[in-house]
Amino acid sequence: MSHRIRVLLAVTAAAALSACAGMPKRESEQATLDRYMDFAGQPVESFSYLGRFDSWRSLGRDKLVIWTSLNNAYLLTVQQPCQDLEFANRIGLTSTTGTVSRGFDAVRVGRHERCTITEIRPVNYKDLRAAERAGG
């Protein structure tokens, strides 16, 4: 690789890093998880699932939030190791007769990883959003 190309690559990389440094940082994973835990109910054994979910968000190596509708959210904990959950672009859920159950069903990550659900907590998402709007 010529000296000119190496210098160009170094300058481009430095510019990209400095642009990122000026951007506001996303809320830390732990802070986000703490916020969801503040609005999570007691663990439940299962929830109704009709084969699709509206959205999801990874909250670490073993936790994620699933929205089954606009205001129905569940904080799921999965058995470790679930190595690709933090970096997954897509996930799936297993279910039995329209229900996702703790200990029986799993989050599918990628083509081959299956992470058994060990805990399910309903999240009061309406109250969480109201608190966010109020600045809390």
**Sequence spans of domains, the chain:** 26-133
Contact 131, 77 (CB under 8 A): no
Euclidean distance between CA atoms 22 and 17, whole angstroms: 9
pLDDT at position 1:
57
- Strand runs (DSSP E) across the chain, as ranges? 46-48, 55-58, 63-67, 72-78, 91-93, 99-101, 106-109, 113-124
Per-residue pLDDT in tens (0 to 9) along the chain, 136 residues: 554 544 444 444 444 444 333 333 355 778 888 898 998 999 999 999 887 788 899 998 899 999 998 888 999 999 988 888 888 889 999 998 889 999 999 999 988 889 999 999 999 988 888 888 887 6
Q: Which of 98, 80, 27, 81 is nearest to 57 (CA)?
A: 27
Q: What is the pTM of this model?
A: 0.76
pLDDT at position 46:
95
